[in-house]
Chain A
Amino acid sequence: MKVPVSWLREYVDFDLPVEELARQLVFTSCEVDRIVRRGVPGGDNLRHFVVGKVLEAAKHPNADKLQLTKVDVGDGEPRSIVCGAWNFGAGATVAVVTPGGVMPGGEFTIEKRKLRGETSEGMILSERELELGEDHAGIMVLADDLVAGTPLADVLPLGDDVLEIETLYNRPDLTSVYGIAREVAALTGGELKPMPGVEPARDGDEPFPVTIEDLEGCPRFIARVFRDVTLGESPAWLKARLSGAGMRPISNVVDITNYVMLALGSPLHAYDAETLAGGQIIVRRARAGEELVTLDGTRRELDTRDLVIADAERAIGLAGVMGGENTEVSGSTTSVILETANFEPLTVLKSGERHRMRSESQTRWEKGVDPEAAGYAARYASQLLAELAGARWTGETEVRGEIPAPPTIAFRPAYTNEAIGLDVPESEQRDRLDRLGFGVDEQWNVSVPSWRARDVRRDIDVVEEVARFRLEDVPATLPNRQAMHGRLTHTQRLRRQVEDVLVGAGLHEAYTYSLQPDDPDPNALELPVPLSSQQRLLRTTLSVGLIGAARHNVDMGNHDVELFEVAHVYLPVEGSKVPNERWRLGGILQGNFFRAKGIVEAVFEALHVEPTFERAQVLEGSPVGARVESGWVAQHGPVGLDGEWSAFELDLEELFALVPERILYRDVITFPPLRQDLAFVVDEGVPAGQLLAAAREAAGEELREARFLSDYRGDQIAAGKKSVAFAVAFQSPERTLSDEDATRLRRAVVEALATRFGAELRA
């Protein structure tokens, strides 16, 4: 909301400089994005802008399109001024800027100069040059009773500071100048003036039928009838205010509705009375197939949930959002129906969403307008219609349903201090609430004003009303704790450990999207309305995102791409839209299966878990892959990446379940190990891992270490066979093993491998 400060000052007295006011409002009430200076730059510059009387006006001797004038600016020395406009003559009262005056925008200074051989000592001003309106057809002609030399600033709103305010969701009362004035009064202690608007005399009792078919959507509707309306331009002050508030002046009737909305916060609408079929208004839900061309010129197919204003035949407005073209006030309008109302916020919000519309009216309705403001708005608009459009108020109909009374809250002023940790005296609390329009009786029953009834419903809401003016004074304390221990959980520590191991192993950590275009699981949860087809599925694996990240790096010309990610996957749960979320570790690396496997082994080793790999087809099109406890490792098939790429993914919850809770010391120092290398000839199909596992099983605890050395096929080995070599270490924590012990253990291993795999020990 843009608030011209001169307008604000009309409703409240305050002494603060505007910048300081804005600074304080930011703490207490609303965001102030910036302060913009509009119109003629202020201060000393204003003395150059005065009322002038045109003494003489004739064609410029050397230019057909220019006038040469003599203008009295009140100092007894008439100035000669060259002017391009012809909408005035001798005797006219005009707005003049004399040399030295800086024009709006601050870039252009008026100077005395020659124009086609004649001296021009200033400029006669148009509305647009003063940023008062759009009109540039001619200069502004002022009222004749003004005296030459009168400061123009006394007559016209020449310049203004405009506060650009962003209101909070719970403060729809601040979407009006009067509402902000009330806030400023509470903040500064300045006096709040009475609400503007004096009911004009009513001239007649014309009936005008109004029917509300949906009192929930529209609990209140006031229609006022005006005759003999003279449609025309608004006066300069009104145009200046609207322009300052960011709205375009259109015509006096439309401008009045907008002005009153900005002043009091309750949106209004004016219909051309002659265009209303059946001379009546019906508030109802839209009919199936009904259409409406709104004032922005768009044809809209209405939804049966839309609340509309209608006449006897058709929709004439989308309630609270925008009026219709079919009943628009136009140049030929002489009779007007003025609407002020209450609309239910959610209905307006939904209509706006459905039709993708945004209007000044809608943004107010959907936050909740003061239900009482409809009456005040009707009153003020009627006054202005009478004054500015010569309108005669001839009739009124009001229909209203149940409007709940604003709450009264039993309050305890000590609660404020308990909540905010700052002692705010009772007198200050009472005074602040009073200034905000709350009623506070002797027993601290707080009655809420109608414009805050939606937001302030409980004692804690009253606390906020007081507290927000003291936020700068709240001290910095810490909770007084009786117990305290901050530590990561076992799982969180392991997660960090895994990340650190991978970083140490050369991988960079990636963050990829949880929403992916594809997923191997056909049951992956899908967003009904995704932002794009690239982000439509909740992933069940990290691999798709990591392939994308790898591809991006390759495209960027990066080498040695090795990435990992630790993040959630979302496994679908039958019969529910709430997935089973799991922490996963995923990785992708340039290189073959064994590159990835080495990384996985490093992770397992770091966690003291012995992995078992079993060959399996874990990825589509993959040449080699394996399952391992809690996940898989595999070489990628063709995935749009050149060369060999491999990947892995582990479910961290499953993996961490295998991590020993406590590592017990084993004595590897007191008694020496006996080391031997063993090589066996076996069928090619026998996995080395199974040989090792069988060896461990056969030798038991005393086989402290069994490490794979090599896997050999060749000249000395028969076709269809291979030689697998291990290094073993036999060791006991209780005694020094003898040569006999070593022979026994070795024999156990040899016999076990011979029996289970037909393995023959090589010499």
Chain B
Amino acid sequence: MDSLAAVDWTAYEQEALKAIEGALSESELDDARVKYLGRKSELAQALRAVRDRESGMLLNGIRARLEAAVLAREHDLLRVAYEAAADSGVDVTIPGHPVRRGRLHLLTQIRREIEDIFLGMGYEVWDGAEVATTWENFDALTSDPGHPSRSQFDTFYLDDDTVLRTHTSPDQIRAMQQRTPPVYLVSPGRCYRRDTPDATHSPIFLQVECLAVDRGITLADLQGTVLQFFRALFGQEREVRMRTSFFPFTEPSVEFDVTCFICGGRGCGTCKHSGWIEMGGAGWVDPDVFRNVDLDPAEWQGFAFGFGIERIAMLRHGLPDLRAFWENDLRVLGQF
């Protein structure tokens, strides 16, 4: 084998290594690589011609070492280049390539947060229809015919028997009709009342209903559930209290307050210096409501509570005007 014999491979390797390690640019390195490792290099030709194991091992060893040297030199050159770039002071405050992204509506974010807390407590999320029969919205909830909420000045009627639900409570009725107890559910959704829109009123608003039906449920269970929920939502330091109230479908009925999550209960503008924030209504499910859905109140007991989503959003984020939720101004939506 002429070529094998004719070449001093030790010198070849030395010479190649020198060229590779001395390359000062990618193109010089490439030239060296082509010359010593390329298809037409002496090494490549010799490898093609090799017929004995000993020569093959020798030449392959040289090739492997040279290739490693090329790779190492490549890295060195890159490092040098990057160091130079770092020294040149790229302005990293210039924005990156823009990526479009939107946002969930604040009310959806809060609705999901509420749902997630209840899911964690083992409740299901119920999707209720917004159009209700007067039976579902009033009668089955034992609202008497003189109750002001039934007035056509307060309620949107489609006809004498059909209304836009005025609260999420008809979902109590529907759920108890469709489910076999125990029932633990939370039902968020749109409700409607004939309120002229202003900063704190809207004819359409979002409410959340929570219903628990099981054996042996007490008002104390309501108190505990409300407490756990608001601690999850507003922080572990929160306390809740119940005050007497009236709702046709609960007995006893209560309103519940939460210690102010802005001032911690010391008193501030948000809580009108009382330390407490009114959150919603609640109570022990009236036995007649159970009878209306053919459940035996001697066997089943329950509690229900409801509150507004907008109110939480407004209190927590300092939004002064309810109408902003329905205007969908990107300058507002984009903030949350």
Contact = CB atoms under 8 A, between A and B. Distances in A.
B220 A420 contact: yes
Contacts of B102: 502-509, 562, 564
Given A29-B244, A552-B328, A485 B122 contact: yes
Nearest to B227: A476
A577 B251 contact: no
Given A487-B119, A492-B127, A510-B105, A168 B329 contact: no
Contact of B221 (A477, A482, A528): A477
A548 B192 CA distance: 20
Interface stretch (A54-62, A307-315, A462-470): A462-470
A512 B221 contact: no
Interface in B217-253: 217-221, 223-225, 227-228, 240-246, 251-253
A570 B131 contact: yes
B330 A528 contact: no
Nearest to B163: A577
B124 interface: yes
A422 B218 CA distance: 9
Contacts of A482: 182
Q: Which of B157, B245, B331 has the most CB of A within 10 A?
A: B245
Contact of A346 (B129, B145, B162, B240): B145
Interface in B152-167: 152-153, 156-159, 161-162, 164
Nearest to B119: A486
A508 B131 contact: no
A169 B240 CA distance: 24
A577 B161 CA distance: 9
Interface string A27-62: 111100000000000000000000000000000000
* Interface size range of chain B in the complex: 35 or more
A143 interface: no
B220 A527 contact: no
A515 B145 CA distance: 27
A420 B284 contact: yes
B210 to A, nearest CB: 12
Interface in A611-647: none
Interface string B97-123: 000111111011000100100111111
Interface in B35-72: none
Nearest to A367: B146
B130 interface: yes
A471 B243 contact: yes
B101 to A, nearest CB: 6
B203 interface: yes
A477 B223 contact: yes
B157 A488 contact: no
A738 interface: no
Given A420-B252, A476-B220, A509 B103 contact: yes
Given A478-B221, A483-B182, A558 B329 contact: yes
Contact of A489 (B125, B130, B254): B125
Given A467-B252, A528-B159, A552 B224 contact: no
B287 A460 contact: yes
30 contacts: A170-B246, A345-B146, A349-B146, A368-B146, A421-B220, A460-B284, A464-B253, A468-B244, A471-B242, A474-B219, A476-B240, A479-B217, A481-B182, A486-B124, A488-B119, A507-B102, A508-B102, A508-B103, A509-B103, A510-B328, A510-B333, A511-B328, A514-B130, A515-B204, A528-B159, A538-B164, A553-B329, A558-B331, A560-B100, A564-B102
Contact of B329 (A468, A479, A530, A552): A552
A128 B210 CA distance: 53
A171 to B, nearest CB: 7
B296 interface: no
B162 A529 contact: no
A472 B257 CA distance: 12
B216 interface: yes
B101 A568 contact: no
Q: Which of B102, B148, B218, B327 has the most CB of A within 10 A?
A: B102
B251 to A, nearest CB: 5
A503 B104 contact: yes
Nearest to A500: B104
Contact of B124 (A487, A577, A583): A487
A564 B123 CA distance: 28
Contacts of B194: 531
Given A421-B221, A486-B121, A531-B203, A556 B329 contact: yes
A578 B225 contact: no
Contacts of B246: 168-171
B219 to A, nearest CB: 4
Nearest to B217: A479
A114 interface: no
Given A471-B244, A487-B124, A570-B131, A478 B254 contact: no
A383 B131 CA distance: 55
A579 interface: yes
A478 B162 contact: no
A535 interface: yes
Given A458-B287, A527-B157, 4 more contacts: A491-B127, A529-B156, A538-B164, A577-B162
Contacts of A485: 122
A678 interface: no
B125 A478 contact: no
Contact of B122 (A418, A486, A491): A486
B196 interface: yes
Given A486-B121, A492-B125, A558 B100 contact: no
Interface string A551-574: 011001010111110011010000
A556 B130 CA distance: 31
A142 to B, nearest CB: 41
B300 interface: no
Nearest to B334: A508
Q: Which of B216, B240, B242, B328 has the most CB of A within 10 A?
A: B328
B218 A419 contact: yes
B192 to A, nearest CB: 8
A460 B286 contact: yes
A475 to B, nearest CB: 5
B251 A461 contact: yes
A409 B272 CA distance: 42
A508 B133 contact: no
A528 B334 contact: no
A467 B157 contact: no
Contact of B147 (A26, A169, A561): A169
A476 B218 CA distance: 10
A581 B101 contact: no
Contacts of A170: 246
B151 A353 contact: yes
7 smallest CB-CB distances across A and B, nearest first, come from A421-B220, A506-B100, A421-B218, A484-B122, A476-B224, A464-B252, A486-B119
A259 B314 CA distance: 43
A486 B118 contact: yes
B311 interface: no
A210 interface: no
A577 B160 CA distance: 10
B190 interface: yes
A628 to B, nearest CB: 22
A465 to B, nearest CB: 9
A366 interface: yes
A556 B331 contact: yes
A79 to B, nearest CB: 43
A475 B223 contact: yes
Given A486-B122, A499-B104, A558 B131 contact: no
Contact of A472 (B118, B131, B196, B241): B241
Interface in A672-712: none
Contacts of A538: 131, 158, 164
B287 A512 contact: no
B309 to A, nearest CB: 11
B212 interface: yes
A168 B281 CA distance: 13
A298 interface: no
A578 B133 contact: yes
